[in-house]
Amino acid sequence: MPRFIALIPAAGGGSRMRGELPKQYLGLAGRPLLFYAIRRLALHPLIQQVFVVLAPGDTRFAGYDWGAFAGKLTPLYCGGETRAASVFNGLVAVDDAIEAADWVLVHDAARPCLGAAELERLLAHGAGDETGGLLAIPVADTLKRADREGRAGGTEPREDLWQAQTPQMFRYRLLVDALRARRHLAPTDEAGAIEALGLRPRLILGSPRNVKVTYPEDLALAELILTTQAHDPAHENRAGI
């Protein structure tokens, strides 16, 4: 049976956070931001291994206590200059440990609020699809196209538009081949590389709570969501951490 493997690219610097620490190590409710992305995936019984792709010179990761995920978490010090490069390098680095048909879930280090229900939907519906799939939510806001002067130049129809989230889940060999074919273009997500092969990944309903921490003010929102999840039985943490 194909296995489920998770990979988290965490080699970036997070320049838009305007801080000295790389974004994945910023403090959130007493833990580094990266901890929460790892926790949701590592504690799921179907996910057998979580690989975290770090910058080659990363010295911070080893300074944190990851003991709660012992035996299931492996750091890979092979991050690249872009997210796509880090994902590709990480996949190549674990080639001996993953079978071609295994499912790989690629998740953003800066998405600490992935819900249990959304992860279950991805695993169930993604694995039931020939191509694989990704979490996403329908676009709710009105979309404006800006001109070069920063003025609204038109309103774009939002019908059939979805906002991509992570995790995104595809077969190992398919994902490696797709990223290799698009390496010179640095796709911003794995689904884009899969689409470039002429395939159509399944859109699986995510949640607005699965926020990506991009700017300093996003940390407060993420902490509020984590607090809400901690008091919601649907998000009960089996390990109690």
Average of pLDDT values for 39-66? 97
Q: What is the dihedral of CA 65, 13, 222, 190, to 10 degrees?
A: -100
101-105, 131-135, 202-206, 235-239: the lowest-pLDDT one: 235-239
β-sheet bridge partners, residue 104: 5, 170
* pLDDT surpassing 50 at residue 86: yes
Report if residue 16 sits inside a domain: yes
- What confidence tens digit (pLDDT) does each residue in 27-42 have? 999 999 999 999 999 9
Q: What is the CATH number of the domain that holds 68?
A: 3.90.550.10
pTM: 0.92
Q: Rg of the chain's alpha carbons, rounded to an integer?
A: 18
Domain count within the chain: 1
Question: Domain for residue 118, yes or no?
Answer: yes
Structure confidence at residue 238 as a pLDDT band (50, 70, 90): very low
Measured N-to-C along each axis, helices 172-181 and 83-93 cross at an angle, to the nearest 10 degrees, of 130
Residue burial 193-222, b: 16+ Cβ < 10 Å; e: rest: bbbeeeeebbbbebbebbbebeeeebbeeb
14/212: higher pLDDT: 212
**Residue 100: per-residue pLDDT:** 98
Residue 240 maps to a domain: no
Structural domain of 214: 4-132+164-200+208-235
Look at residue 206 and tell me whether its pLDDT is greater than 80: yes
For residue 94, pLDDT beyond 70:
yes
The answer as to whether 159 is a domain residue is no
Does 143 fall in a domain? no
In a domain, 147, yes or no: no
| Mean pLDDT of the 188-197 span | 96
For residue 16, name the pLDDT band (cuts at 50, 70, 90): low
Answer whether residue 144 is part of any domain. Answer: no
pLDDT of 232 reads 72
Nearest CA among 235, 196, 224, 211 for reference residue 163: 211
Say yes or no to pLDDT of 25 above 80. Answer: yes
* Residue 59 reports pLDDT greater than 60: yes
At 136 the pLDDT is: 98
Read off the pLDDT of each residue in 86-95 and give the average, rounded to a whole number. Answer: 97
